[in-house]
Amino acid sequence: MTEMRAGSRLERVLRSGRFAVTAELNPVDSADPEAVYERALVLAEVCDAINVTDAAGAYVHMSSIATCALLVRAGYEPVLQMTCRDRNRIALQGDLLGAAALGIRNVLCLTGDDVTVGDQPQAKRVFDLDSIQLLRMARIMRDKGVFLSGRPLEVRPRLFLGAASNPFAPPFDFRPLRLAKKVDAGADFIQTQLCFDVERFRRFMAQVRDMGLHERVFILVGVGPLRSVKSAEYMRTRVPGVYIPDEIVERLRKAGGPKQQREEGKRICVEIIQQVKEIPGVAGVHVMAFRQEHLVAEVVEEAGLLPRRHAQQTPGASPPSPSPA
Amino acid sequence: MIRPLAFLQNHPHCLERVYRFTLAVFRRARPLLARVGYDRAARVLVPVERLTKGAIFGCQMCGQCTLHATGMTCPMTCPKNLRNGPCGGVRANGHCEVIPEMPCVWVQAYERSRHMPLYGHEILLIQPPLDRRLADTSAWINAITGRAEDTGIVWNADD
């Protein structure tokens, strides 16, 4: 794992062996770029790269690719999340090229939450490709310099390719095997679903190490602070693929009022970060705090993962210049 | 879709033998089918396939059957049509993210693949994107003519 694929900041941090921190940004419901910068500013100083979701939960927001382009313009390092839910292979290939041209260097290839879980279940689901096919297609474009049809590209998209893994959803025995498929398809890094069950994750990583996958791919563990019992209950019942053990919810409940619950949620998250950090084969954490970006900074700081000097350049007080960084 | 013979899926080790046998028969019959003409043969085979594979697997007639590589469980019955394994949305009880009352197709596929000594390991293979033009054509004919595999795309990332 020494050869540079894209030379992105995230890739350089991972290859240098430093513990990486990425954070999730949910794009805005606005046509104003300032709203994007505002949301990113909190995250940028505490992470190496910012993941931009692609209509997560099938709720539409500003497009992932446009949000990423704005982040690049402001000097930030985005990870473009790309799902198979809304676009067929023709659109996806065009977006991969366009993303690279806009200066986006990291792409996370996902299947995508189904349209039925969002607020526009009337929509047509696409799923022309699945996430593994999307990954392989992106790798063919990058490494072979051709479209799926074989038509050559003049300039290849230099992309650091990522994939997701959910060790916390059945079929548990198949999850490491599916990870292996993703590595074979072309994944350079992995970001997992939110981890609230460290024991389960430990077992998963043991299998991953047995297969030697940790030496072929960088694995970032998904973590996130729970705001309250109510939000924990919402997430475990309504957000696809999130598993929160009863003990965690119980801990939050015992904490007391809203303020104490919020503190306890943060404490749980910090503890989980410290535990997974010690698991061999873990290259970093991916912090997801839906609509509470400010909490990410607190979590990263309290987990002792600061300073991240090498991370993002902090833009000045003035609005970022429109010329590409 | 009504699947009166769905119970057969719980005997994947028998089904994989049937698959091997069927494939061998069709390979042998290839010259005959070629003489009859694949188009004419398809007029008979397509309804037969629809009926038999529909009754057992809930076949969606994608025309590129991978049943033996997916635990004798049709991946096209997954609401997301995933051909390479389960999405991250599988519920704790092993049910589908999209249709809560339905067991996840891939949870079943993986379980069944473990009882398939002949082809079970093929669940680890990466399945290429579908050729959508082959929808509603005969997967049996596409398998023996090589049309199912030769979809005209670059798919090998190495070399």
What's the ipTM?
0.96
pLDDT in the model for residue A324: 41
Reference B71, options A112, A109, A177, A193; nearest CA is: A177
pLDDT in the model for residue B68: 96
- A273 pLDDT more than 60: yes
* Residue ranges making up the domain that contains B104: 6-145
pLDDT in the model for residue A323: 45
Phi-psi label, residue B85: left if phi above 0, alpha if psi -120 to 50, beta otherwise: left
- Considering CB atoms only, which of A149, A166, A174 is closest to B88? A166
pLDDT digits (tens, 9 = 90+) for B70-92: 999 999 999 999 999 999 999 99
Contacts of A140 in chain B (CB under 8 A): 154-155, 157
Residue B158's pLDDT band, with cuts at 50, 70 and 90, is confident
Helix H or strand E segment including A287: strand A282-287
Contact B89 A143 (CB under 8 A): no
DSSP H stretches of helix in chain A: 9-15, 33-44, 64-73, 89-101, 131-139, 174-185, 198-210, 229-238, 246-255, 258-277, 293-302
B109 within a domain of the structure (yes/no): yes
The residues, ordered by sequence, that sit 6+ positions from A231 with a Cβ below 8 Å of its Cβ are none
Contacts of A132 in chain B (CB under 8 A): 84-85, 126
**From the CB of residue A212, how many other CB atoms can be counted at a distance below 10 Å?**
11
Contact B92 A166 (CB under 8 A): no
The alpha carbon of residue A38 is apart from the nearest alpha carbon of chain B, in Å, by 30
- Give the separation between CA A290 and CA B23, rounded to whole angstroms: 51
**From the CB of residue B151, how many other CB atoms can be counted at a distance below 10 Å?**
17
Contact B97 A114 (CB under 8 A): yes
B47 CB within 8 Å of a chain A CB: no
pLDDT digits (tens, 9 = 90+) for B87-140: 999 999 999 999 999 999 999 999 999 999 999 999 999 999 999 999 999 999
* Topology adopted by domain A9-226+273-293: TIM Barrel (3.20.20)
pLDDT in the model for residue A293: 85
pLDDT digits (tens, 9 = 90+) for A60-94: 999 999 999 999 999 999 999 999 999 999 999 99
For chain A, what percent of residues have pLDDT higher than 70? 94
pLDDT in the model for residue B77: 97
For chain B, what percent of residues have pLDDT higher than 90? 96
Contacts of B132 in chain A (CB under 8 A): 128
Give the CA distances from residue A309 to residues A46, A160, A294, A305, in Å, rounded to whole numbers and listed in that order: 9, 22, 19, 11
pLDDT in the model for residue A159: 98
| pLDDT, averaged across chain A | 93
- A316 pLDDT more than 80: no
- Considering CB atoms only, which of A130, A132, A140 is closest to B154? A140
- A318 pLDDT more than 90: no
Residue A309's pLDDT band, with cuts at 50, 70 and 90, is low
- A220 pLDDT more than 70: yes
- Total domains present in chain B: 1
Contact A170 B153 (CB under 8 A): no
B58 within a domain of the structure (yes/no): yes
pLDDT in the model for residue B8: 93
Contacts of B155 in chain A (CB under 8 A): 136, 140, 148
pLDDT in the model for residue A307: 84
pLDDT in the model for residue A312: 55
Choose between A240 and A139: higher pLDDT: A139
| pLDDT, averaged across chain B | 95
- A320 pLDDT more than 60: no
B1 within a domain of the structure (yes/no): no
DSSP H stretches of helix in A22-80: 33-44, 64-73
**From the CB of residue A237, how many other CB atoms can be counted at a distance below 10 Å?**
10
Strand-pair partners of A49: A22
pLDDT in the model for residue A89: 98
SS3 content of chain A, % helix, strand, coil (to 5): 45, 15, 40
